[in-house]
A and B are shown apart, each in its own frame.
Chain A
Amino acid sequence: MTGRETRNSEQKELAARAAGGDIRAFEELIMAERPRLYSFALAMSGGNHADAADVLQEAFIKAFVNIRRFRGDSSFGTWLWRIVHNEFLNYRVALRSRPIRQEGDDETVSRLPSDHPGPAESLIAAERRAKVLELVALLPPKYREAIVMIDIREQPYDETAELLGISMSALKTRLMRAREKFSELVRKRKEHFI
């Protein structure tokens, strides 16, 4: 049995236990994906920790309630990503109806650790990151997730297309349109970047 088959078999066993109400088994299942999913959720919600945490909590609860539907056709990670992705589509109205970021809000991405932290990282750079994410959050969800997955998180194209349930060519078309829309937003809000 290969390592992947072993992992799938373990996941099915944990999923079966979770379906019987075993919370620890479910926590073990989501543990590996949680930091990556939270990073995705944060980028999708314009750097707003409260929104990212809300959406992820709801997605995890839905995954737990529907764990019987996980049949092991794909990996548990892929199955879970799809639930989070759907949850963001459901939440789009709620997210759009509230301000993306308030001045002085300390739950924003400006407090995020960088991948390359160090004394050279200035406050301006952190502010700029926050502002870019604000603009990303203004995109419609299907464009936002294409940009978040490919451009920001640099996920492979084939993996992203599978997660979104669309073809590679559809993903590329969507990404092109997303970049155009993002670039339009940048033009309209130049003051963000001065």
Chain B
Amino acid sequence: MKPCERTVQLVAASMGRDLERDEALFLKEHAAVCPECRAHLAASDTAIGILKGGLVPQEIDTPPLFNERLRERLRERAGHPSWYRYLPQIRFRRFELGFLATLLLLAVGAVTFFYFHEDAPQPQLVTQKEVSTDTPLSIDLEYLAVHPIAEVTVTIELDEGVVFHSDYREIADARSHTWKGRFNEGINSIPFMVTVEKPGIREIRTRADIGDWRHEHRITLTSNGKMLTMAMYRLPKRRI
């Protein structure tokens, strides 16, 4: 059961200011007759009571060697700047961008061709589609289970330049997500949406750990700024 709306409003009001006398009196009297509100107020009081009182000092010096290690890493970064630090300075005209995208597509095609002609077990093309870059790309990871599986962990990792599409910032800002749950007999689908922020070739890597086996997908996203081509490959399963 939820607490009454008035109680919730007053608890919210008490954050950042003292309650008026009549407001405090209302809470006291109401809590005496309403178990849900009493539990809600008790939870709030318990938390505040435990958490207040200098659990962690407001300022703490970083551990020894923290600054030295940071300086070392900053030097590495400053000495070997990422390419994308220069990207804002590069301005492509539209036909140049198209030409570069075509070159990239050809390069991917060549690499894929040679990769597929090795003797080792090969990735299989699962699905391929082309969509406009104006809309988020919806992707379904599908797993066929011949019997129910109690515990499955699926992890999705994104390259730089690809972001999860979600109204929730904690999802949209993350570089990877992990889903844990069970699979039913038949097809189990894990859908997610992404947006490609920058033209070029990006990759999404997924892995599903089922018992001792790892099932992986590689999803290649090739964007020329207008259209986005997605190709999903299933890698041979392997023992963890």
Contact = CB atoms under 8 A, between A and B. Distances in A.
Interface of A: 21, 23, 26-27, 34-36, 38-39, 42-43, 47, 49, 53, 56-57, 60-61, 64-65, 68, 86, 89-90, 93, 109, 112-116, 129, 132-133, 136, 141-142, 147, 150-154, 156-157, 165, 169, 172-173, 175-176, 178-180, 182-184, 186, 193
Nearest to A66: B85
Nearest to B12: A172
Contacts of A151: 47-48, 51-52
Contact of B60 (A61, A112, A176, A180): A112
Contacts of B190: none
A115 B70 contact: no
Given A43-B56, A180-B44, A49 B63 contact: yes
A23 B55 CA distance: 34
B85 A133 contact: no
Secondary structure at the A interface, as helix, strand, loop or mixed, is: helix
Contact of B16 (A35, A133, A142, A157): A157
A144 B140 CA distance: 31
B129 interface: no
Given A65-B85, A89-B173, A186 B50 contact: yes
Contact of B62 (A27, A53, A114, A180): A53
Contacts of B178: 93
Contacts of A141: 170
Interface in B24-57: 40, 42-44, 46-48, 50-52, 54-57
A165 B173 CA distance: 13
6 closest A-B pairs by CB:
A35-B59, A183-B43, A179-B47, A115-B54, A151-B51, A21-B78
B8 interface: yes
Given A147-B47, A151-B48, A93 B176 contact: yes
B91 to A, nearest CB: 16
B170 to A, nearest CB: 5
Contacts of B173: 86, 89-90
Interface of B: 8, 11-12, 15-16, 40, 42-44, 46-48, 50-52, 54-63, 66-67, 69-71, 73-75, 77-78, 81-82, 85, 88, 169-170, 173-176, 178
Given A38-B61, A53-B66, A61-B77, A109 B56 contact: yes
A172 B54 contact: no
Given A60-B70, A152-B55, A157-B15, A183 B47 contact: yes
Of B15, B47, B82, most buried by chain A (CB within 10 Å of CB) is B47
Nearest to A129: B55
B168 to A, nearest CB: 9
Given A90-B175, A173-B12, A23 B74 contact: yes
